[in-house]
Homo-oligomer: A and B are copies of this chain.
Amino acid sequence: MLSSHQQARRQERLDAVLAAAWEIAAESGLGAVTLHDVARRVGLRQPSLYVYVSSKLGLFDAMYARAYGELLARLAALPDSGSARLRLMRIFWVILDFVVSQPPRQQLLFQRTIPGFTPSEPSYALAEKLVEQVTALLAEVGASRPEQVDVYTALIAGLGAQQIANDPGGDRWSRLLEPVLDCILDHCRREDLP
């Protein structure tokens, strides 16, 4: 049985490991993350990492969970004021900024690009929490059908993907979020979808 002090130290170390891993991903891409490199950055030797993660895929899973945790925290920190539409816009903006400012997040959280990686159940539960939040707000603005929800997730995914792939560092696509969202909210109603 671990003392709470030991647990805290362990958690601290793990946090440092995940921070280092995300740092490498931000600098050189998700594929550039290696256990050797992560270990070096936290002042450990590569085999010592196996105390904190069970394998390379285990590391990715922990990175996944950590990133979702951070995103959910940012959403929770948003003001609760304003119309549902305004709150929805804020949420979408935070999500878009989250992935555009660090593209590997988009790769790990929203795409299927790491061979062999699937989030564990507890990690995936965080993803579902995000969907629930967005779905609830969309219902408030009158987009309650699943097909409507899918349109909005595709919109965010598409703006993010294009921004990252074709104008990294710029805002050519991200700045379209507000006007396009307004237009779709105003004009694409339930009866327009199959």
Contact = CB atoms under 8 A, between A and B. Distances in A.
Interface string A91-115: 0000000000001000100111101
Interface string A157-194: 11101101100100011011001101110111000111
Kindly state the interface size class of chain A when it binds its partner.
Answer: 35 or more
Q: Is the interface of A mostly helix, strand, loop or mixed?
A: helix
A172 B147 CA distance: 8
Q: How many copies does the complex hold?
A: 2
Interface string A128-168: 00000000000000000001001101111111011011001
A103 B165 CA distance: 16
Contact of A112 (B28, B103, B150, B194): B103
A176 B151 contact: yes
Nearest to A182: B192
Given A186-B187, A187-B188, A157 B162 contact: yes
A79 interface: no
Contact of A161 (B111, B179, B187, B188): B111
Interface of A: 28-29, 31-32, 103, 107, 110-113, 115, 147, 150-151, 153-159, 161-162, 164-165, 168, 172-173, 175-176, 179-180, 182-184, 186-188, 192-194
Given A107-B113, A158-B161, 20 more contacts: A28-B115, A29-B115, A31-B31, A103-B112, A112-B164, A112-B168, A154-B155, A154-B162, A154-B173, A157-B158, A157-B165, A158-B158, A161-B161, A176-B194, A179-B188, A179-B194, A180-B193, A183-B188, A184-B184, A187-B188
